[in-house]
Each structure stands twice: as structure tokens, then as C-alpha cells.
């Protein structure tokens, strides 16, 4: 399998397609990388992960990319070979862009039978000076699976929380302590599990629900729930996100795409070759809105087909343009338009809260 680098005339095509603002007045972008587990477990597909990070670096100036977030399931099995693949791909960003990693169920011991992980054997804050620059602190020293960051750009100063899959009670208590001290700033949460896709099918309006203990593949489906309390999406909402009206975004992965198979709730089946994307917004009593997004591409061909999500923050200071894009399809396809995924869950605009 060969890979072409993104350059030349294709770059111009991308520039025109990405935004109607044509990057006037310096909008800036944030990139969300979905579950990469199927890339790193397969020697043939592993180059697609690196192709993503190389494309991000090559286009960071044109798109004014300032930050990269990973929603977890970095690897498929918590073993050295897969972590080496992930390290090779993500370290492309070192010294070029800050990136924040979330831990998914596959990043933990035996698919979350316990909370052991090799993440911290392969990734350190000190690996990337730009990560070190924004780093705020750990829940437990040296363990990146629960950490917070302070990211400044575009007139905003975000406190970004990265919380483990099915956060423990004590982790959520720690996150609340940090949030209370930073309550004058907008917040972002990156965690592996929060909203799903299946709940959109029989939910009036098609808006995703926060997951419950009964949701398929919630943290309660795994061994990590046996030693003590964990938090699924609704519980994390109740215990953390709902308490702070300055939350602007929650990003997660983990879940599959589903379709309806009958007239009754539960009449669904997984779509194994589709992108999973869901959206939910909640409005706080003071009128602020928190935008919540599931995005996962791992069941697309070749372990994800290179799909990523790009959030473009426009110069008006309030509009965010969400796009779903594949560097791999742009590099290899005959028609650059195939690198864009269209549809209401794949491309849309959001409105940010007013700055205080």
C-alpha cells in the first residue's frame, strides 16, 4: 500500500473546499482524531495513522491548526507492539502541535478488565514541549489518563480535561476540584464514553442521549466497574459537566453507528462499515450551551480510512464550523470531493457562548 503526501494542487482544492470564509481574518482549527485501534493492530493499516498526523503537521499553517485531541482507544490491545505503532504516529506532532490523549477501554488491561495501561510507558508530557507548555496537572503524578490542560488561542483560554474511560468517583471529585478553581474560563472535556449513536434512532428529534449503566458497551459492561463506582455518560453529566455552565464541548468516541430495523425501540442493528457520529446540546440555566459530539471511524475500510474531524473557529468569535474529512482519501482518491463526508451529523455550524 502506497501513500502520497498532501501537497501542490490538492492543497489548493482543500483550501477552497474547507471553508466559505476562505480563512479570511485568521480563523483557527482544532482536530479531533477518533479511535485508532484498528490502525495500530494491523501492519498494513498502521501507515494511515501516520498519514493523518503528517497531514496535520503539513497543513497546520494553512489551516491555522492549534490543537489536536484524541478521544481514546489509541490501541486495540494494551501491548508493546501496538503502543509502538501509536507512538510512531503521534510523535510526528512533537514540537509541532500540542495534543491531548484520552484513554479508552482498549487502552486498559485486557479490554478494561482492570485499569492497567502502558500509555505512560510510551507517552510523557516532556516528549512534546508544546504539551508541556499547556499542561496543568495530573490526578496521579505521571499518569496521563486523568489530566488537565490550559490552552489559550483565538481570544479563549480553555481548561481541557482528559478523563479515563468510566471515570472513578475519586477522579470525578478531583476534576470538580480543578474546575472550581478555574471557573472563570471555558471548559472542554475529552473522554472515551459519553453519548452514543443508537439512542438517536428512537429519540424524538434525533438528539443523542447521555449513556446509562444499561447502554450497550457502557463502562458497566467491563471489569473496571467491579472494584467500585464508575461513571457512564449520564452520571458524568450529573456529577461534573452539568455543574459548570462554562463547559463548551464534550468529545467522545467508542460507539458504533446503528440503523433502525423495525418500529419499536430496540429494533436496531450495528452498521459495521459506517462512521459513527452523534451530536447533543444542552442549555444551562444561564443560557450557555454545551456541545457534545461522538465521532468514531474505526469500522470504515482499512481501520478508519483516515477520517478525522476538524473544528474551524471563525473570526467572529462565536461560530465553529464542524467538518468531517479524510486526508487518506484526498491523497489517494481520483476525486478530492470524496475526502469530505456530508450530512447533518458530519458537517454543521455551532455557536459558542459569549465571553465573560
Model-level pTM?
0.93
- In whole angstroms, give the CA distance from residue 188 to residue 177: 15
89-146 pLDDT, tens digit per residue, is 999 999 999 999 999 999 999 889 999 999 999 999 999 999 999 999 999 999 999 9
Please give the domain boundaries of the chain with CATH numbers for all domains: 27-316 (3.60.21.40)
C-alpha cell at 146: 486523568
Q: What pLDDT does residue 45 have?
A: 96
Model confidence at 19, in pLDDT bands (50, 70, 90)? very low
Model confidence at 322, in pLDDT bands (50, 70, 90)? very high
Q: How many helices (H) and strands (E) does the chain have?
A: 9, 15
- In whole angstroms, give the CA distance from residue 27 to residue 178: 29
Average per-residue pLDDT for the chain: 92
183-223 pLDDT, tens digit per residue, is 899 999 999 999 999 999 998 788 999 999 999 999 999 99
133-174 pLDDT, tens digit per residue, is 999 999 999 999 999 999 999 889 999 999 999 999 999 999
pLDDT at 1 over 50: no
pLDDT at 296 over 50: yes
- In whole angstroms, give the CA distance from residue 242 to residue 232: 14
Closest by Cα among 238, 78, 232 to 163? 232
- In whole angstroms, give the CA distance from residue 345 to residue 257: 11
H-type alpha helices, 119-249: 119-122, 129-134, 169-181, 233-239
Is the Cβ–Cβ distance between 298 and 38 less than 8 Å? yes
Mean pLDDT for 265-287 is 94
Is the Cβ–Cβ distance between 330 and 324 less than 8 Å? no
Whole-number percent of the chain with pLDDT over 90: 85
Q: How far is CA 113 from CA 23, 118, 337, 338, in A?
A: 46, 14, 42, 39
Model confidence at 356, in pLDDT bands (50, 70, 90)? low
Report the largest interatomic distance among the alpha carbons of the chain, rounded to a whole angstrom: 55
Q: Say which range, 16-25, 114-123, 251-260, 265-274, has the weakest mean pLDDT.
A: 16-25
Closest by Cα among 189, 208, 191, 205 to 276? 208
Q: How far is CA 54 from CA 31, 89, 328, 338, in A?
A: 13, 8, 11, 20
Which residues contact residue 50 at a Cβ distance below 8 angstroms, ignoring those fewer than 6 apart? 88, 89, 92
Model confidence at 15, in pLDDT bands (50, 70, 90)? very low
- In whole angstroms, give the CA distance from residue 275 to residue 330: 17
Q: What pLDDT does residue 25 have?
A: 65
Amino acid at each position: 500500500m502506497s501513500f502520497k503526501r498532501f501537497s501542490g494542487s490538492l492543497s489548493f482544492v482543500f483550501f477552497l473546499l474547507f471553508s466559505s470564509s476562505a480563512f479570511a481574518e485568521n480563523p483557527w482549527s482544532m482536530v479531533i482524531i477518533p479511535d485508532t485501534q484498528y490502525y495500530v493492530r494491523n501492519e498494513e493499516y498502521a501507515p494511515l495513522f501516520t498519514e493523518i498526523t503528517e497531514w496535520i503537521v503539513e497543513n497546520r499553517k494553512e489551516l491555522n491548526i492549534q490543537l489536536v485531541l484524541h478521544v481514546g482507544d489509541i490501541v486495540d490491545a494494551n501491548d508493546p507492539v501496538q503502543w509502538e505503532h501509536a507512538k510512531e504516529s503521534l510523535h510526528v506532532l512533537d514540537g509541532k502541535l500540542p495534543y491531548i490523549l484520552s484513554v479508552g477501554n482498549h487502552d486498559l488491561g485486557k479490554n478494561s478488565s482492570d485499569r492497567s495501561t502502558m500509555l505512560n510507558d510510551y507517552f510523557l508530557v516532556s516528549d512534546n514541549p508544546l504539551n508541556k507548555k499547556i499542561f496543568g496537572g495530573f490526578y496521579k503524578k505521571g499518569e496521563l489518563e486523568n489530566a488537565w490542560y490550559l490552552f489559550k488561542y483565538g481570544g479563549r483560554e480553555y481548561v481541557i480535561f482528559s478523563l479515563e474511560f468510566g471515570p472513578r468517583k475519586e477522579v470525578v471529585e478531583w476534576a470538580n476540584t480543578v474546575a472550581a478553581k478555574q471557573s472563570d474560563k471555558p471548559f472542554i472535556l475529552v473522554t472515551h464514553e459519553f453519548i452514543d449513536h443508537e439512542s438517536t434512532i428512537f429519540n424524538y428529534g434525533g438528539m443523542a442521549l447521555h449513556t446509562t449503566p444499561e447502554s450497550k458497551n457502557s463502562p458497566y459492561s467491563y471489569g473496571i466497574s467491579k472494584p467500585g463506582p464508575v461513571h457512564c455518560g449520564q452520571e458524568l453529566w450529573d456529577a461534573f459537566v452539568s455543574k459548570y455552565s462554562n463547559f463548551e464541548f464534550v468529545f467522545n468516541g467508542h460507539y458504533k453507528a446503528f440503523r433502525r430495523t423495525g418500529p419499536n425501540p430496540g429494533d436496531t442493528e450495528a452498521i459495521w462499515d459506517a462512521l459513527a457520529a452523534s451530536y447533543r446540546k444542552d442549555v444551562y440555566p444561564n443560557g450557555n450551551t454545551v456541545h457534545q459530539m461522538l465521532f468514531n471511524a474505526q469500522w470504515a475500510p482499512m481501520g478508519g480510512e483516515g477520517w478525522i474531524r476538524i473544528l474551524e473557529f471563525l473570526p467572529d468569535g462565536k461560530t465553529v464550523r464542524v467538518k468531517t474529512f479524510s486526508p487518506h482519501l484526498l491523497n489517494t482518491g481520483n476525486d478530492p470531493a470524496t475526502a469530505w463526508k456530508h450530512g447533518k451529523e458530519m458537517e454543521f455550524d455551532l455557536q459558542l457562548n459569549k465571553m465573560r
